[in-house]
Amino acid sequence: MGESKTSGMFGAGSRGVITAPLEAVRRRASGQAEQYDSVNTIIESEIIPRLLMAHSATDTPTRSRLLRSITPEDASRFAELPLRLEAASLLEEVDAFIAKGASVETICLDLLAPAARKLGEMWERDECDFLDVTMGLWRLQEVMREVAARAPIDRAGMALPCSALFSPMPGDHHNFGTLMLDEVFARGGWRSEALVKPERRELLDRLARQPFDLIGLTLARDCPSAALSNLIKAVRNVSANPHIIVLVGGRMINENPGIAMEVGADGTGTDALAALELANSLVKTAAARDLNLR
């Protein structure tokens, strides 16, 4: 959008988690598979969302986005480093930006995410091989794990959390974006859960049994808008919460945000942090409306 929130995502298993989707691309290139997404699509839809999860619940998204202090030139220089520096040396580079006032979110959005994209571009131009890009991404993950550990969730003073369920579109087997939405919302004070590779019946049954405040559907690849619209109608019909908020996201939606409203969703966010900000706003609006109706 599971495992322990931080250690499970960024611990010893990180290398395997990154290698798994990339291995599919390598098999395609060697003729062992019929059809897989390009490495850039995988990095955009699966790996970059993992880099965006280290957003402290105490850091206001709007505020931190106004305080970006990393220039495109800085990002371009840093993007070459994961191929030749170990994680510890990369962290020293990141610490230099933090010392100058860069926030955790700025590090994610303006430094690590562009570096991940750069690795994908270099691979597709045959400027680095499979091992290079896998190790480079793993080093970025290790850096992010350390940076995330410095921004623990502070739940003191938080109100009773809202609940959210995140799921890929049934039939879409790209799960990293879903898991990272789950992570970002949990760090933002929500009680969140994620389904991995769900069948349509499983998803609807889950919603019928528990009154979630929000469901987030992710689409890593294109699908007919009619199918998405049909699923959202089914969600609203079976949901144990008749006022459930429905958010949609992914490459297909980002390229044409108007689809969100066309299919009956309540909105979309360009990334996990934008989705969290929108969800918080929608919840506040709904609470105010309910208060006025009493």
- Asked whether residue 132 is domain-assigned, the answer is yes
Domains held by the chain: number: 2
pLDDT for 47 beyond 70: no
Residue 156 falls within a domain, yes or no?
A: no
195 and 143 co-located in one domain: no
Same domain, 141 and 171: no
Residues 186, 132 share a domain: no
Is 60 inside any structural domain? yes
Together in a domain, 214 and 94: no
- Are the beta carbons of 111 and 78 closer than 8 angstroms? yes
Q: How many angstroms separate the CA atoms of 25 and 38, rounded?
A: 7
Domain limit, last residue, from 114, 149, 184: 149
Q: pLDDT per residue over 134-153, tens digit each?
A: 888 888 878 877 876 776 55
Residue 213 resides in a domain: yes
- Within this chain, do residues 29 and 69 fall inside the same structural domain, yes or no? yes
User: How many whole angstroms from its chain centre is CA 4?
Assistant: 16
Mean pLDDT of 265-291: 85
Question: Are residue 15 and residue 131 in the same domain, yes or no?
Answer: yes
Instruction: Check: CB of residue 220 under 8 Å from CB of residue 166.
Output: no
**Position 130 in a domain:** yes
Claim to verify: residue 136 and residue 171 sit in the same structural domain: no
User: Same domain for 173 and 126?
Assistant: no
Question: Which residue, of 149, 182, 215, is where some domain finishes?
Answer: 149
Q: Report yes or no on whether pTM surpasses 0.85.
A: no
Note whether 193 and 109 are same-domain residues.
no
- Residues 2, 216, 24, CA angle at the centre, nearest 5°? 60
Do residue 11 and residue 139 come from a single domain? yes
Q: Is it the case that residue 290 has pLDDT exceeding 70?
A: no
More confident residue, 115 or 55: 115
Rounded CA gap, 101 and 68, in Å?
9
Nearest to 167 by CA among 224, 281, 249, 271: 249
Q: Residue for token digits 């691309």?
A: 25
261 CB-near residues (< 8 Å, 6+ apart): 267
Which of 116, 149, 182 is the last residue in one of the domains? 149
Q: Among candidates 111, 68, 275, which has minimal Cα distance to 177? A: 275
Q: Using the structure block, give the residue that is written with the tokens 């995502």.
A: 9
* 96 lies in some domain: yes
Band (pLDDT 50/70/90 cuts) for residue 89 is very high
Does residue 154 form part of some domain?
Answer: no
Asked whether 9 and 3 are in contact (CB, 8 A), the reply is yes
Per the listing, tokens 């995410």 go with: 113
Range of the domain at 131: 7-149
CB 79 within 8 A of CB 93: no
Q: Does residue 42 register a pLDDT over 60? A: no
What distances in angstroms separate CA 70 from CA 57, 77, 80, 144, one per listed residue? 22, 11, 16, 16
Residues 13 and 110 in one domain: yes
- Whichever domain contains 205, its CATH number is 3.40.50.280
pLDDT of residue 119: 82
The tens digit of pLDDT for each residue in 241-271 reads 999 999 998 878 888 889 999 999 999 988 7
Work out whether the CA dihedral 208, 211, 214, 218 comes out positive or negative: negative
224 & 134 share domain: no
> Is 170 in a helix, a strand, or coil?
coil
Under 8 Å CB-to-CB from 213, ≥6 apart: which residues?
162, 163, 164, 241, 244, 245, 283
- Distance, in Å, from the CA atom of 148 to the CA atom of 220, rounded to the nearest integer, reads 25
